[in-house]
Chain A
Amino acid sequence: MTTTNEREIPMEELERVTIRFAGDSGDGMQVTGTQFTRTSAVFGNDVSTLPDFPAEIRAPAGSLPGVSGFQISFSSTDIHTPGDEPDVLVAMNPAALKVNLGELPAGAALIVNEDAFTATNLAKAGYASNPLKDGSLHNWNVFSIPISTLNTRALEGLEMTSKQMDLTKNFFALGVMFWLYERSMEPTLQWIGDKFKKRPVFADANKRALRAGYAFGETTEIFHSRYMVPRAPQRPGTYRNLTGNEGAALGFVAASVKANRPLFYGSYPITPASDILHELASYKTFGVKTFQAEDEIAAIGSAIGASYGGAMGMTGTSGPGIALKSEAMGLAVMVELPLVVVDVQRAGPSTGMPTKNEQADLLQVLYGRNSDSPVAVVAPATPGETFWYAFEAWRLALKYMTPVVFLSDAFLATGAEPWPIPSVDDLPDISVPNRTEKAGFRPYDRDPQTLARPWAVPGTPGLEHRIGGLEKADLTGNVSYDPENHHRMQELRQAKIAGIANDIPELEVNGPAEGDLLILGWGSTYGSIRSAVERLQARGHSVAHAHMRYLNPFPRNTGDVVKAYKRVMIPEINLGQLSMLIRARYLVDAQGYNKVRGKPFRISEIEAEAERLIAELRGASR
């Protein structure tokens, strides 16, 4: 649909647009992206975002490692991913262009700050000649704008150094994009006002930059069209934007309120989990106690101590930290205390690529401990779901007196989406009592339903007892080396976790209940798989999608689900972990589809692989 506005610039309506803002880490690309997101969300689009942080904190300006990016996809329909490839790339310098051009499809729009294409910056980015002039960008729709010059001109007369003025050029670029996509400047103007309340000159400068960019769009003749992405049909309700780390922190606090026990979070700084520590450290009015430990081991040790004392002790880290916590997780299994362990996965092994995504800790959290040492594992699929599975992790930990791993990843942690704010009154009560009754108390007695042992916390008269890492005699909890007892206890610990399967929802299937292909996933691949399956279904394929939020125990119908399709495909950002478990557990010939690039799957590649499997199936049945 094409309409015309009063300036005779045609307005084109689009269903969905994906923009990537890229620049030097000092160029404010995260702020720019976040403001565009907020504005689009407030306007009523469905949005999904993916920040791409540089690995170095202060890489040299203009260098390739210093490039910071932020991708936002906004749509008039329900979307599940931040988009495979951008429709528009905003590149603030040559390095940003170089790093991102490879993912920009031919014909896409490229908006560049031509002022930054100086000889020095070109050299830093490794360009032998200026791509704006040598014709190498002919495949793209290039809009070359002297953003720095125009911006400085707009700020003339303000009492600022030219360096300070240059720091506002991201708002100029944002202004151009707001004009191009017909967004209101109001939310951002207000945000700038709040942010620079104490420095009016800066507030003024940033506002002027934004308005100048917008006005430039209006007056320049380089753009021949504007674009409009209408509101998405969102369900009625009040929304906010939520990242996965924020959602997790909120879920943990909500669990604490609904369990009526204080939360204790022991953690050691690690990317990409630290934001959970930062968030929780600011929740003091909820009685949350945070402890920045001397190392990963102390972090989990302190959490176990807090749980022993009757608090909700938890710890959070990423893969390398889980490796260090393994022994203490085993202790928590042995002493059967509630504990939540957050693993925000990142690319490994070893230090790997700390800011990049991977789902390769699944086997580590399930089996990375000495002996048979079962823990429950939950894994949210979207940034918004982190809240619910953080809450769920605590429900299980308290009810079953067990460690529970909350398995998130870098993509969920930093990605954001609109989140319908739940009502506190709708959250269930998850409180459990302490044991206080003296008569008949035995530390390793078990609830017949859940197999949970009693939580008898220090301070309870008459229940003085000793626990520890040595094997326990059934019921009494005294140290025991009896062979039969050990076997029984191993089975009991296993049975307790297995029994959780009766207390969690069945695995849901999106699509036909049986058919050609099931695509089974877990964690942050949800959006890509969901979108791919929607497209495949639209083309008439017999394809279904199931996504596991519980990785130990598996939902009780998992075996039935995976056996109901001729082929099972398991896309994972690892070299085949869930696929190994499914094959081993259910003896089905599930096919892994594995890519480990530190990035989410593209929808199109899942689609292609699915079609390949379906074609193979057709060929086989012919």
Chain B
Amino acid sequence: MTDTLSPGGQPALSPQNAAIIQLTRKDFVSDQEVRWCPGCGDYSILAQTQKVMPDFGYPKENIVFISGIGCSGRLPYYMNTYGFHSIHGRAPAIATGLKAARPDLMVWVITGDGDALSIGGNHLIHSMRRNVDIRVIMFNNRIYGLTKGQASPTSEIGKVTKSTPLGTVDYPISPLTIALAAEASFIARSVDTHTEHLQQTLTRAGFHRGSVFTEVLQNCNIFNDGAHREFTDRDVREDRMLVLEHGQPMIFGKDRDMGLRLNGYQPEVVKLGDDFRVEDLLVHDEQDPLIAFMLSRLYWPDFPVPVGVIRDVRRPTHDELVTNQIEEAIAARGEGNLQALLSGNDTWTVK
């Protein structure tokens, strides 16, 4: 019965096929004119996405981009893959159904802080807890851009916007903490302007099997210019951001002389030298939920802002579990017989 689902007769391909398939960045550029404001951080995210896409070894017809509403929602139009620009907040739900029906597809969800964490919060959370094999990339510009500048769930308290003339009284949400609580199996953060880091992060996200939540700190130069400038600007970023690497001590700073250690239960920034040595620092472990939780709650200016892969664990995905149940049922009882099903087990005959 699944035959009609693979019209091209294309089996799901493994990443090793990248060499065979031979696509380039250009293959992923659609014919649609890009319509973000000049200078918007979304341009870079789109460019890095198109750049890493050939690495995964999927033919482009097996890749689907699904988005919700917001500036981020336009991205699928610019990808020369299958794309679905859906309704506000619902992209993870649509992606869940698509992936359950079509395990052979590589599915990306493009969303923003309002789309994912406000109107679509429920779907985001539940797609992550089910470990749906979709790659959620959330552009976080801490503002509503498309509707022209209202406070978002990640806007800092007191932020003055059109809808909050005296400053918002709502505390911001921590996207990474939410992702952890919802048990996403891959959680990462990167920055629009750090192109190389963003490429690396998207590549890791793409190869992960299971629910991916990647927050990309993005600048909206029209309605929230400099949203992350304090720690992402070129001249300060090395001192104010902590680039995570699995198995490596948490060192940062232009001179690589700052580090993060645990003082009792509390994280603490220390200067390497006489008092503290590299061995005293925390070592990043992508499988350790406690480290992940701690990292998700580090904010500038008290701490450097962690970027990179915070969590990466493997557990069966939603589509694997769904498929397994069906396969096991068929193995145990054989393929369904419709006539027997219609008859049920309690019939009588009138002659």
Contact = CB atoms under 8 A, between A and B. Distances in A.
Contacts of A304: 86, 94, 97
B259 to A, nearest CB: 41
A301 B94 contact: yes
A563 interface: no
B55 to A, nearest CB: 18
Given A298-B126, A457-B7, A305 B61 contact: no
A555 to B, nearest CB: 27
Given A424-B338, A458-B64, A261 B4 contact: yes
B20 interface: no
A301 B87 CA distance: 9
Given A236-B350, A285-B335, A459-B105, A262 B1 contact: yes
Chain A binding site: helix, strand, loop or mixed by DSSP?
A: mixed
Interface string A285-327: 1110101011101110111111011110100000000000001
B1 A260 contact: yes
Contact of A294 (B62, B98, B123, B329): B123
Contacts of A423: 339
A89 B6 CA distance: 59
Given A238-B347, A239-B350, A421 B342 contact: yes
Interface in A103-133: none
A466 B77 contact: yes
A306 B351 CA distance: 44
Contacts of B105: 309, 458-459
A436 B126 CA distance: 34
B21 to A, nearest CB: 11
Interface in A236-293: 236-241, 250, 253-254, 256-257, 260-262, 264, 266, 283-287, 289, 291, 293
Interface string B3-34: 11111101000000000000000000010100
A239 B102 contact: no
A464 interface: yes
Interface string B116-139: 000000110110000000000000
A462 B62 CA distance: 11
Contact of A302 (B80, B93, B326, B351): B93
Nearest to B62: A459
A185 to B, nearest CB: 16
Interface string B43-71: 00000000000000001111110100000
B326 A287 contact: yes
Contacts of A461: 8, 10, 59, 61
Given A331-B87, A457-B7, A286 B336 contact: yes
A469 B86 contact: yes
Given A469-B85, A469-B87, A464 B61 contact: yes
B61 A463 contact: yes
Contacts of B349: 237-239
A235 B126 contact: no
B236 interface: no
A584 interface: no
A470 interface: yes
A501 interface: no
A422 B334 CA distance: 22
Nearest to B351: A236
Given A459-B102, A464-B82, 5 more contacts: A257-B1, A304-B94, A421-B343, A436-B8, A461-B8
14 contacts: A239-B349, A257-B1, A261-B4, A285-B333, A289-B101, A295-B122, A303-B97, A309-B105, A310-B4, A311-B101, A421-B343, A434-B7, A458-B102, A469-B87
Interface of A: 38, 41-42, 44, 234-241, 250, 253-254, 256-257, 260-262, 264, 266, 283-287, 289, 291, 293-295, 297-299, 301-306, 308-311, 313, 327-328, 331, 335, 421-424, 431, 434, 436, 457-470, 478-479
